[in-house]
């Protein structure tokens, strides 16, 4: 599957937004953990969202890497 330049630009834009959100969640989780008492439920939810973002980031990155025939 070959992507158009427009599709590649759109994927890169989505990828950037997800990476920023992932990094922001990391900072929020770190802050919540460092300042007692931590809200364990909130931290768990944020970590789950962070994992979902990581999965989506990985998928988008794979779309941008062309298949190499074996």
pLDDT value, residue 60: 95
Domain presence at residue 14: yes
- Residue 68 within any structural domain of the chain: no
The secondary structure of residue 4, as a DSSP letter, is P
pLDDT digits 0-9 by tens, 16-44: 999 999 999 999 999 999 988 989 999 99
The H-assigned helical ranges of 1-70 are: 5-34, 40-64
pLDDT at 70: 57
pLDDT at 38: 85
In sequence order, which residues have a C-beta less than 8 Å from that of residue 8 and are 6 or more positions away?
64
Q: Given this model, what pLDDT does residue 36 score? A: 84
Kindly state the percentage of the chain with pLDDT values over 90: 80
- By residue range, what is the domain housing residue 10? 5-63
70 part of a folded domain:
no
């Amino acid at each position: 599957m070959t992507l158009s330049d427009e599709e590649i630009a759109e994927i890169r834009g989505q990828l950037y937004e997800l990476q920023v959100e992932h990094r922001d969640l990391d900072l929020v989780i770190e802050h919540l953990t460092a300042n007692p008492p931590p809200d364990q439920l909130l931290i768990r939810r944020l970590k789950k969202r962070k994992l979902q973002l990581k999965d989506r980031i990985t998928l988008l990155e794979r779309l941008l890497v062309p298949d190499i025939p074996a």
